[in-house]
Amino acid sequence: MKFRNVSTVAVAVAAALTMAACSGTSGGTSSAGSDGKSFEFWSFTGINQKQSVTQYQQKKPDVQVKLTEVGNAQETAQALTTALAGGKVPDLVLIQGDDLPKFVQQPQNFVDLRTLGADKMKGDYLDWVISQAVTKDGTIIGIPTDVGGMAIAYRTDLFKAAGLPTDREEVAKLWPTWDAFIETGKKYTAATDKAFIDNAATGVFSQVVNQGSEKYYDPAGNAVYDRSPQVKLAFDLGIKAVTAGITAKQSSFTDGWSAAMKKGDYAAVAAPSWMLGSIRDNAPDTKGKWDIATIPGGAGNWGGSYLAIPARAKNPKAAWDYIATNLSPQGLLEHFLDAGSLPPTPSVYKDPKLTSVKDPFFSDAPIGTIYTDSLLGLKPFLIGPDSVAIGTEFLNAITNVEQGKGDPAKAWDAALANIKTAIGG
């Protein structure tokens, strides 16, 4: 009894690996044959791939797409890892940009999309976006589905009550720099006694750190998180936002964060393009009270995902047809118009269909131009294999200060020490 229960821990670790032995003989699903008429697609929640699948099935009604939303982006990457290590793999899988480097380092697990025609499409995408999915020898393992241009979403009614301007052009003029942004926050907090932004970690640090041309790795792939000027700047600004007392101390996507958003307990939130959907879903009653202004500090990108085909996929051709159809510039433009994901294909940025989009939830803000403008002129940074782990420790250090437990003066050193432990071996 005792022994068996203890070993469940071991089962958890080793299940994936022992399954390798069984998977050769299993594969019992009969409907997912290799006839090219159906394929399995793993996506994550919150990114509305259902819309994209519907769009595809309208064009190819005879193809059956079995979409599974595995969990959030990280959970989906974990499930994919387990599957690649020795389980039943999907035919098509969505991978978030931050998780991609770990898979790019092991390209033997994926179909080289050049064999299916990715060479011809490669030029359609923003160079720095597609290059994240290309290995040193030129193997393409993923095609980008979207990019995360950045902006600030703010509540016009709350700004008005605090005596701040509400027009998006004038609001943008309030904060040409992040220092000015924090000053604006102080004014807001002084006038209303309420928090200005949700939190300092993702609200300030994650934004600023994504605006540089170098993040945690230099272009050669060396870890430079401890000396990259943009990282230090982002960290210091995060701490500054904490000590200015303008944050609601609500971590993104928690219950408290959603509740505070509904109640208007903070007035502004950093809004990469994919955040707009979250705001709509979380606080439907605030429709029309939001607007979107440009972000301080200039161009930047946060997020974005890729579609890849595992090497052991049973229906790679059907999966590729989905990629070729939906991730063409026209397909991406349609998806943007339906679901709001920002296309990584610059050829459609001047398309009137994109530039004329106005979002009524956000006071008819021209979301197409606001976000694509934030992407043009962007100097991209390299994402490395430990980017997620490094980012987590920086965010934790800032949150710890925000919670009143960490010493702001020692937070940077503490974060560096934690990162060394985390990625050390």
Partner 1 sequence: MAPYAYIAPFFVIFAVFGLLPLLFTFYVALYDWNPIGDHLFIGLDNFARLLADARFWNAARNTLSIWLLSTVPQLLGALLLAHLLNHVRLRFALLFRMSMLVPYITSVAATAIVFSQMFDRDYGLLNWLLGLAGIGPIDFIQSVWGSHVLIAVMVTWRWFGYTTLLYLASLQAVPRGIYEAAAVDGAGNWRQFVHISLPSLRPVIVFTVVTSTIYGLQIFTEPLLISKGTQTCGPVRQCQTLTFFLYEQAFGQFRFGYGSAIGVALFVMVVVLAGINYFLSTRIRPERP
State the minimum distance, in angstroms, from the CB of residue 397 to partner 1.
7
Position among 29, 115, 243, 253 found at the interface with partner 1 (CB under 8 A): 253
Stretch that binds partner 1, among 57-65, 101-109, 111-119, 300-308 (CB under 8 A): 101-109
When the beta carbons of 134 and 397 are compared against partner 1, the nearer one is 397
When the beta carbons of 89 and 367 are compared against partner 1, the nearer one is 89
State the minimum distance, in angstroms, from the CB of residue 241 to partner 1.
15
Report the relative pairing of strands 152-155 and 266-270 from DSSP bridges.
antiparallel
Q: What is the 3-state secondary structure (H, E, C) of the chain?
A: CHHHHHHHHHHHHHHHHHHHHHHCCCCCCCCCCCCCCEEEEEECCCCCHHHHHHHHHHHCCCCEEEEEECCCHHHHHHHHHHHHHHCCCCCEEEEECCCHHHHHCCHHHECCHHHHCHHHHHHHCCHHHHHHHECCCCCECCEEEEEEECCEEEEHHHHHHCCCCCCHHHHHHHCCCHHHHHHHHHHHHHHHCCEEECCCHHHHHHHHHCCCCCCCECCCCCECCCCCHHHHHHHHHHHHHHHCCCECCCCCCCHHHHHHHHHCCEEEEECCCCHHHHHHHHCHHHCCCEEEECCCCCCCEEEEEEEECECCCCCHHHHHHHHHHHCCHHHHHHHHHHHCCECCCHHHCCCHHHHCCCEHHHCCECHHHHHHHHHCCCCCCECCCCHHHHHHHHHHHHHHHHCCCCCCCCHHHHHHHHHHHHHCC
Distance, CA of 145 to CA of 304 (rounded, Å): 7
Q: For partner 1, what does the binding mask look like between residues 103 and 142, x meaning CB under 8 A?
A: x-xx--x---------------------------------
Position among 58, 120, 137, 405 found at the interface with partner 1 (CB under 8 A): 405
Residues 198 to 237 in contact with partner 1, rule: CB under 8 A: none
Stretch that binds partner 1, among 118-126, 169-177, 300-308, 392-400 (CB under 8 A): 392-400
When the beta carbons of 343 and 391 are compared against partner 1, the nearer one is 391
Residues 303 to 332 in contact with partner 1, rule: CB under 8 A: none
When the beta carbons of 313 and 397 are compared against partner 1, the nearer one is 397
State the minimum distance, in angstroms, from the CB of residue 201 to partner 1.
8
Q: Is 25 in the site for partner 1 (CB under 8 A)?
A: no
Q: For partner 1, what does the binding mask look like between residues 261 and 280, x meaning CB under 8 A?
A: ----x---------------
Distance, CA of 275 to CA of 297 (rounded, Å): 19
Angle, alpha carbons 412-413-414 (nearest 5°): 90
State the minimum distance, in angstroms, from the CB of residue 79 to partner 1.
9
State the minimum distance, in angstroms, from the CB of residue 99 to partner 1.
10
Residues 55 to 84 in contact with partner 1, rule: CB under 8 A: 72, 74, 78, 81-82, 84
When the beta carbons of 162 and 200 are compared against partner 1, the nearer one is 200
Q: Is 416 in the site for partner 1 (CB under 8 A)?
A: no
State the minimum distance, in angstroms, from the CB of residue 50 to partner 1.
21
When the beta carbons of 360 and 404 are compared against partner 1, the nearer one is 404
Position among 70, 94, 400, 419 found at the interface with partner 1 (CB under 8 A): 400
Number of residues in contact with partner 1 under rule CB under 8 A: 55
Q: Which residue has the tokens 């003029």?
A: 173
State the minimum distance, in angstroms, from the CB of residue 388 to partner 1.
8
Position among 259, 287, 288, 413 found at the interface with partner 1 (CB under 8 A): 259
Rg, the chain, Cα only: 22
Distance, CA of 294 to CA of 288 (rounded, Å): 18
| Site residues, partner 1 (CB under 8 A) | 1-18, 72, 74, 78, 81-82, 84-85, 102-103, 105-106, 109, 249-251, 253-256, 259-260, 265, 388-389, 392, 395-397, 399-400, 403, 405-406, 421-422, 424-425
